[in-house]
Structure 1
Amino acid sequence: MTDPNRITLYYSPQSRATGTRVLLEELGAPYDLHVLNMKAGEQRQGAYLAINPLGKVPAIRHGDALVTEQVAITIYLGDLFPQAGLTPALDDPLRGPYLRWIAYYGASFEPALIDKFMQREPAPITQSPYADYDTMLGALEAQLSKGPYLLGERMTAADVLWGVAFSWTMMFGIVPKKDVFVRYAERMTSRPAFQRINAADDEMAAQHAAAAVG
């Protein structure tokens, strides 16, 4: 009998989908991978564009529900497996801040990072979705300094999203290696779930690279 809670994760190694897979592991969620070789351009082929017209991962399917966008996926999965304790309930005072900082990732952090990476001038502060880069990052630094997690003493699904994000962006030099960011990223990436997926990603990425060359 098929498990109605089983998730299909549309996936490529060493991409934004890595954080979603780590979250699934942290939640103890049953899932299957639908792997796309992005080096071979599989994410731009018709079969996957029918899943996500933007040709991006992650995406998940759960029963009849198809969910794209990393922020939406994080919220959806956390709520789907409340027994894991990584999601504040609707009547929990932390629910609002939890949603705030997950949304902040997609609405402010990502646009700021892309402008920074592309060395583009941001929009005027009154039109910019993130004010300016230093202000955007300063708000995160202030929040994380209350630590050890984004919402203080309690780890949530938001920390999986942000921990992986800080690890990658500091590695590529887009986010400065400030002590508070480094400690936070290390706290999250030292967890067994991240370690398992990181090792699996390395192996899968090497296979994809070899297949693309071949």
Structure 2
Amino acid sequence: MYRVIGTAKSRALRVLWMLEELGQPYEHIPANPRSDGVAQFNPAGKVPVLIDDGTPITDSTAILTYLADRHGDLTHPAGTLDRARQDSLTQFLLDEFDAALWLAARHSFILPEEMRLGAIKNTLRWEFETSQRTLIHRMSDGPFLMGDRMTVPDLILAHCLDWALTARFPVVEHKLTDYLDRIRQRPAYQRAMAL
């Protein structure tokens, strides 16, 4: 059985949600970043951490990719053009959505107060809105980013959109708000959010 370390209010939600989508059993240990329960598996103190057969795997995207490949679901096969498109979307979301939200969080409550730059958040919001306009041109007409099949970047995008709304980063594209509304109806998403 997998063990997932990290609170559901962190990127650990992505892993918990994926395990729910895959129907895989897991134990959830809702530890905070940099706590003793995390640091013993990840010296950086970051969550999530997935423990599989005694081996810790860190970084939510690495964990999602590992689980998708291992279970042959929520992904396209390695070495295919669809996988290249999937990986490209994943990288885009990490660079343009996740990075902006993480930098805003760092300058809101993570960094020591004397190191925070409050004005940077205005620039990050602008970049986030610009990235939304770019993304909608890359989205399929299907229910998911790549069409009729949910893949790894869907979990990242939905998590980032939820995070954005919590952080008061406007989701300005209707295609994205409609997308998030559909995703939030998924039973696996709802089970993970209930944690």
Tell me if the contact between 1:11 and 1:35 (Cα under 8 Å) persists in the aligned partners: yes
Tell me if the contact between 1:166 and 1:175 (Cα under 8 Å) persists in the aligned partners: no
Indicate the residue corresponding to 2:134 in structure 1: 139
Q: How does 1:179-190 map to 2 (within 5 A)?
A: 179-190=174-185
Indicate the residue corresponding to 2:55 in structure 1: 65
Tell me if the contact between 1:71 and 1:105 (Cα under 8 Å) persists in the aligned partners: no
Tell me if the contact between 1:10 and 1:35 (Cα under 8 Å) persists in the aligned partners: yes
Q: 1:104 aligns with which of 85, 88, 92?
A: 92
Q: TM-score, normalised by structure 1?
A: 0.73
Q: How does 1:19-168 map to 2 (within 5 A)?
A: 19-36=14-31, 38=32, 43-82=33-72, 85-115=73-103, 118=107, 119-121=118-120, 132-144=127-139, 146-168=141-163
Q: 1:192 aligns with which of 167, 176, 187?
A: 187
Q: Give the drift of 1:134.
A: 4.4
Q: C-alpha distance in 1, partners of 2:103/2:54?
A: 36
Q: Give the drift of 1:72.
A: 0.8
Q: Give the drift of 1:88.
A: 0.5
Q: C-alpha distance in 1, partners of 2:102/2:8?
A: 20
CA radius of gyration, larger in = 1
Q: How many pairs were matched up?
A: 182
Matched letter for residue 3 of structure 2: T
Structure 2 unaligned residues grouped into runs of 5+: 108-117, 122-126
Q: Give the drift of 1:181.
A: 1.1
Q: C-alpha distance in 2, partners of 1:140/1:179?
A: 12
Partner of 2:81, secondary structure, is: coil
Structure 1 unaligned residues grouped into runs of 5+: 1-5, 123-131, 202-214
Change (3 A) 1:120 1:56: farther
Q: Once superposed, what is the RMSD of the aligned Cα atoms?
A: 2.7
1:79-111 CA-to-partner distances (Å, cap 9, x unmatched) read 1111xx311012432100111122223333222
- 4+ residue stretches of structure 1 with deviation over 6 A? none
